[in-house]
A and B are shown apart, each in its own frame.
Chain A
Amino acid sequence: MSSKPLKQIHLAAHFPGVNNTTVWSDPAAGSQIDFSSFVHLARTAERAKFDFLFLAEGLRLREQNGEIYDLDVVGRPDTFTVLAALAAVTDRLGLAGTINSTFNEPYEVARQFASLDHLSAGRAAWNVVTSWDAFTGENFRRGGFLAQEDRYERARQFLNATWELFDSWRGNEIVADKESGVFLRDPNPGRFDHHVGEFDISGRFDVPRSPQGRPVIFQAGDSEAGREFAASAADAIFTRHGTLEAGRAFYGDVKGRLARYGRSPDELKILPGVTFVLGETDAEAQERALVIRRQQVSGQTAIKLLEQLWNRDLSAYDPDGPLPEVDPLVGEHTVAQGRASVRMHRDPLTVASEWRALADAKKLSIRDLIVEVTGRQSFIGTPAHVAEQLNEFVQTDASDGFILVPHLTPGGLDEFADRVVPLLQERGVFRTEYAGETLRDHLGLAPLSVRAAAAS
């Protein structure tokens, strides 16, 4: 045993998303929109003493080949509204929502988050994202095209504007003394005056300071600009680094940036989004994992995912046959819209030749290949083995915890809560009861003073 004290793991539940990680063809798959599904996952997470529930967002239905994409789960609720409702059926669980800074205005977002924080008694968190696409902008009166390089500047300006609003009430204004008739100590609370970049706003904010002062701030994204933004302003990062080595490199890099902003390494939690498959034995877990992968990648889905790299209509190809002989179309991506992943393919010709080599070597069909090269589960094994791997990740500074992405709605977290969490608790690396009331408490973040908030 090293003398270093054990780090405490932070755990969160990601509501299954509108992508092919979420399996809808399984008989156990329930509704992605009925409130009962959200209640089930939230209560499971709270029963297991998780830090928070996380909701993603996408403001336009995805399209491929000029048509609405129909192979994945489609349809989700409004983030703020469902989180406010979940505050009624949970007591301690943090409630984290992804809210876009391109298609909203600071005054409205600030009052929604401040309201959510009041209505949940201090459990709100905001994953700040910034869209770049005019495609999504077609749903909004303000449109929304933003050059990709301007995204973090927009996010920073938006966040700064909302922080000025959150801090415009200091928390001591309301007296509400019936005898004297003094409701407000200050005749002018909520005053703000913000004229930076594209935000030219002034007046008086109308929501008194909320229990956490402002929502916990999440940042998702690995780019250089994203890392710097997180180091300067975020309380947690939602990352995608699935291996120990990549995780440690990212962790070291980002934590190393905090000092420049006068922050300590503990003030930013690094939480990769991960998937898991459990089994009675490791071999059984591997078998289950493969079954799930083939549920996630139907023949039709395999063709569509291949099209996203090939940037061509491949609907004539047989998913159980070999890869296309034509090469990917290089240039502007025209096949798929509304997906973050599409932009992430590096040089398509190189990837295609790697995939061809792999398919030849292992005699893989299109579907087999896609199963092989996409979205493999992060942790596969017995509950004991998975608990051990998770703990190793955290104790060796590859992360501070995990955002778990179940593949089934709404029961995909049940087994983890029942079988893995107790093992982490036995090891003394995960809470057995909530020690605090707010999400900041759960994440080990100090309460925010008005002064500290204003300075950052």
Chain B
Amino acid sequence: MPESPQPDAPLPDERGLLHLAVALDGAGWHPAAWREHDARPEELFTARYWADLVAEAERGLLDLVTIEDSLSLQSAHPFEPDERTDQVRGRLDAVLIAARIAPLTRHIGLVPTAVVTHTEPFHLSKAIATLDYVSNGRAGIRVKVSGRADEFAHFGRREAPRVSAEDFDSPSGQAALEELFGEAEDYVEVLRRLWDSWEDDAEIRDVATGRFIDRKKLHYIDFEGSRFSVRGPSITPRPPQGQPVVAALAHRGEPYRLVGRSGDLGFVTPHDSEHARQLVAEIRAAQAAAGRADETVHIFGDLVVFLDEDPGAAADCKARLDRKAGAALTSDAAVFTGTPAELADLLQEWQRAGLTGFRLRPGTLPYDLEQITRGLVPELQRRGIFRTAYEASTLRGLLGLPRPANRYAAGAVDATAALV
């Protein structure tokens, strides 16, 4: 295979450190996880449950947690609802969970999931700006598209694309994906413009002239796309980070382009280190094609993990859960069972393939989360590839992303100094 063009982008942290995120979803990523002895299935809809999980992640000095979400009930089927009664069903809005947790944590990044296909970019923009305010600069957003017919019916505004997973590579499947991800790209553009629609020093409180704001520093964004238009400015001032972190999970060319063009952070699902290398090359190429080669775009590898200090115990746990579920766990991401040290070996190998970090999906909660924070993290620290204290107070800071200049500011000077 010919070499993909490799932009000169910062790849793994220059100190060799890797970044670590945990993906929180229900009782864990195994469908039978809720039946484990330490699971708390009756508390899934309480604030305390989520607060405890995120506090544990923060004790482990993780960069961020993501919180899954969708606009339909969970289902064993990827594209339509089911009627199973043996798995967790029901969830809370992820942005609101993140907001509820924000005042209880100090350092960890909070990255809820939001579906962009059916929602208003104006609302999500101010919601994430507000998450950034209530967390003092720790907000991110993972954008997600929805092609599911049932979710379209929940909104009743337009027809769902008539495409099933097997058809994604057909011309009509391709067109449907292009449309969904094209809309997502427009949506992210609107989020970003709205976050910049107030300059940092727009609020002047000038008693002499009676003016609270300098209206020249508020900007109409005048986004006009084929799918929607948004006038602006936001009703919410520019958030503390300037631009909260935008993330997406990507399995194919269309979302790789979304990450390359619009994202700060992509989650990918490699099967091995060679696959990881290919995925990284594809996103780096999209990044370069978008003229962003000199910007930091993180690429985290996703893994479902079952961990235990005792060799073999994690595999036993997964086998036990598979029996309860009546089927072996299937996942878009690779499934790892083993000891924290074995996982550390794997992460180092994949890091050498160009991944800048990992998003671990605990097979069960809280057990596998605690194995990450109390087993994996100390192991990575011993190897000198993970932080031993939080070095920054914002999520952008933890990810090594500078606070960006405002696109609308005259001269686009560094806006940090002007922050009121």
Instruction: Identify the A interface with B (CB < 8 A).
Output: 24-25, 33-35, 39, 58-61, 67-68, 70-78, 80-82, 84-85, 87-89, 103-105, 107-108, 111-112, 114-116, 118-121, 138-142, 169, 174, 176, 178, 181-190, 199-204, 206-208, 298-301
Contacts and interface: CB of A to CB of B under 8 A. Distances in A.
Contacts of A39: 103
A33 B237 contact: yes
Nearest to A135: B231
Interface of B: 32, 34-37, 39, 41-42, 45-47, 51, 70-73, 81, 83-93, 95-97, 99-104, 118-123, 126-127, 129-131, 133-134, 136, 150-151, 153-157, 198, 203, 205, 207, 209-215, 218, 227-233, 235-237, 324
A34 B130 CA distance: 9
B213 A187 contact: no
Given A24-B205, A81-B131, A183-B85, A118 B46 contact: yes
Nearest to B81: A204
Given A78-B123, A119-B100, A68 B72 contact: no
A201 B152 CA distance: 9
A103 B120 contact: yes
Contact of B153 (A89, A202, A299): A202
B99 A140 contact: no
Contacts of B133: 33-35, 77, 82
A176 B41 contact: yes
A207 B210 contact: no
A200 B72 contact: no
Q: Which 10 A-B pairs have the closest CB atoms?
A: A141-B228, A300-B210, A84-B99, A85-B134, A187-B83, A176-B41, A138-B231, A115-B93, A81-B130, A77-B130
Contacts of B131: 81
Nearest to B139: A81
Contacts of A72: 212
10 contacts: A68-B218, A77-B129, A82-B130, A89-B103, A103-B123, A138-B229, A169-B90, A181-B86, A187-B83, A208-B45
A87 B47 CA distance: 9
Given A71-B211, A190-B73, A88 B100 contact: yes
A188 B130 CA distance: 35
Nearest to A319: B210
Given A70-B214, A82-B99, A82-B134, A178 B34 contact: yes
A119 B92 CA distance: 9
A103 B88 CA distance: 32
B87 A200 contact: no
Contacts of B96: 80-81, 84, 112, 115-116, 119
Nearest to A301: B210
Contact of A119 (B97, B203, B227): B97
A382 to B, nearest CB: 30
Given A78-B129, A182-B86, A207-B92, A201 B155 contact: yes
Given A141-B121, A187-B83, A178 B41 contact: yes
Contact of A81 (B32, B87, B99, B231): B99
Contacts of A105: 118, 155, 157
Contact of A141 (B89, B151, B203, B227): B227
Contacts, number: 233
B327 to A, nearest CB: 13
Nearest to B90: A208
Given A68-B215, A186-B85, 12 more contacts: A75-B237, A81-B95, A84-B96, A88-B47, A88-B103, A103-B120, A107-B154, A119-B47, A119-B92, A138-B230, A176-B34, A299-B210
Given A78-B129, A185-B85, A298-B210, A61 B218 contact: yes
Contacts of A87: 47, 100
Nearest to B222: A138
A183 B83 CA distance: 12
A39 B86 CA distance: 41
Contacts of B119: 108
B66 to A, nearest CB: 17
B127 A78 contact: yes
A111 B101 CA distance: 18
A176 B42 contact: yes
Contacts of B156: 199-202
A76 B236 CA distance: 5
Contact of A183 (B88, B122, B203): B88
Q: Which of A89, A115, A182 has the most B CB atoms < 10 Å from its CB?
A: A115
B122 A81 contact: no
A53 B150 CA distance: 36
Given A70-B211, A174-B42, A140 B230 contact: yes
A190 B118 CA distance: 19
A176 B130 CA distance: 34
Contacts of A299: 210
Given A76-B235, A178-B35, A181-B324, A203 B154 contact: yes
A198 B30 CA distance: 40
Contact of A187 (B46, B85, B157, B231): B85
A358 to B, nearest CB: 24
Nearest to B101: A88
A84 B100 contact: yes
A177 to B, nearest CB: 9
A116 B92 CA distance: 8
A207 B324 CA distance: 25
B45 A118 contact: yes
Contacts of B95: 80-81, 84
Contacts of A178: 34-37, 39, 41
Nearest to A103: B120
A139 B118 contact: no
Contacts of A201: 153-156
B89 A35 contact: no
Given A84-B96, A85-B99, A189 B35 contact: no
A207 to B, nearest CB: 6
Contacts of A80: 93, 95-96, 99, 127
Contacts of A140: 120, 122, 230
A356 to B, nearest CB: 24
Contacts of A202: 153-154, 156
